């Protein structure tokens, strides 16, 4: 695998089963600490871990649903993407006038329930962060480091290597983030050694769709769908139907506190 990813934000396209593990990460909420209010004081980040050999099965199952409910798995000449907001609001491709929404939703939840995945998630209460630290870490970075550390431990325990795929946010933002991540993977963090972090062999940035809009990255769609439900659990203690179907997949379940789930903030923080 090329080391080009270390120098410039690069898309991951090698879904060929040759990578031991892949961690796909999406965020929910707004990471800025400037002018936030109590309606967006929580920020969370969720990673969906998939073993390389499971990748093709997951893509096949997601695409089977898309092809069943949308002609050629397309809507408005673009590949259908399972995006939590559109799915929950039943808009765009998920308009019940277009598809049999109840049946599609049932099949999607059944697929997610049986999918062989592992979940890591972290949530940050911005009030907690700003009160505890006079110069707090950037929220996005604070959340991401927790996932990197837990993922590195996971790989170390199994003697494996893996890669991380983040949803692209913009070339400048992605490049700045990459410049922060690479040294951590090489030298380690305050809690995890460089030898352990170095089991992460690549950090990539993918959009939800390819440039021509004809293909998508189903693993990031899973991270988006599941991430929203973890966010609601973290900041509102709401357990949706989808959350109940995936909670046993959170790393180290049922003892997830500090392992598969970390909540920074409030007296009852996990």
pLDDT digits (tens, 9 = 90+) for 129-165: 888 878 877 888 888 999 999 999 999 999 999 999 9
- Residue 269, pLDDT above cutoff 80: no
Q: Are 139 and 34 in contact (CB under 8 A)?
A: no
59-88 pLDDT, tens digit each:
999 999 999 999 999 999 999 999 999 999
Rounded to 5 degrees, what are φ and ψ at 23? -115, 115
Q: What is the pLDDT of residue 150?
A: 94
Q: Are 224 and 86 in contact (CB under 8 A)?
A: no
Chain CA centroid to CA 42, Å: 16
Q: What is the pLDDT of residue 195?
A: 93
The rounded distance, in Å, linking the Cα atoms of 238 and 172 is 35
Q: Are 218 and 225 in contact (CB under 8 A)?
A: no
Q: What is the pLDDT of residue 266?
A: 57
Which secondary-structure segment (H or E) carries 107? helix 101-114
| Bridge partners for 217 per DSSP | none
Q: Of all residues in the chain, what percent carry a pLDDT higher than 70?
A: 98
Confidence of residue 35 (pLDDT cuts 50, 70, 90): confident
Q: What is the mean pLDDT of residues 113-138?
A: 89
Q: What is the pLDDT of residue 270?
A: 39
Q: Please count the residues of the chain.
A: 270
Q: What is the pLDDT of residue 1?
A: 57
| Bridge partners for 28 per DSSP | 44
Query: 97: which 2 tokens?
Result: 């006038």
Rounded to 5 degrees, what are φ and ψ at 204? -125, 165
The rounded distance, in Å, linking the Cα atoms of 239 and 93 is 25
Q: Per CATH, which fold does 18-264 belong to? A: Nucleotidyltransferase; domain 5 (3.30.420)
204-224 pLDDT, tens digit each:
999 989 999 999 999 999 999
pTM: 0.93
Q: What angle do CA 196, 198, 203 make, to 5 degrees?
A: 125
Q: What is the pLDDT of residue 139?
A: 87
Domain boundaries, the chain: 18-264
């Amino acid at each position: 695998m090329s080391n080009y990813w270390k120098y410039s934000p690069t898309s991951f396209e090698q879904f060929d089963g040759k990578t031991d593990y892949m961690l796909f990460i999406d965020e929910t909420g707004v990471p800025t600490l400037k002018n936030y209010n109590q309606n967006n004081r929580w920020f969370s980040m969720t990673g969906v871990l998939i073993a390389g050999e499971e990748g093709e099965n997951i893509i096949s199952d997601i695409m089977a649903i898309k092809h069943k409910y949308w002609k050629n798995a397309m809507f408005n000449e673009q590949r259908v993407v399972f995006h939590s907001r559109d799915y929950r609001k039943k808009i765009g491709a998920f308009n019940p006038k277009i598809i049999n929404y109840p049946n599609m939703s049932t099949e999607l939840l059944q697929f997610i329930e049986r999918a062989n995945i592992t979940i890591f998630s972290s949530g940050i209460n911005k009030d907690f962060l700003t009160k505890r630290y006079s110069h707090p870490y950037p929220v996005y970075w604070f959340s991401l480091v927790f996932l990197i550390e837990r993922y590195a431990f996971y790989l170390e325990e199994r003697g494996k290597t893996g890669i991380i795929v983040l949803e692209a946010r913009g070339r400048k933002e992605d490049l700045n983030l990459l410049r922060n991540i690479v040294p951590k993977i090489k030298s380690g963090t305050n809690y995890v050694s460089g030898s352990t972090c170095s089991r992460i062999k690549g950090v990539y940035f993918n959009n939800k769709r390819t440039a021509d809009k004809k293909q998508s990255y189903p693993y990031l769609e899973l991270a988006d769908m599941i991430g929203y439900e973890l966010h609601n659990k973290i900041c509102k203690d709401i357990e949706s139907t989808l959350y109940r179907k995936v909670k046993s997949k959170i790393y180290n379940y049922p003892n997830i506190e500090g392992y598969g789930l970390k909540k920074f903030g409030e007296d009852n923080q996990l």
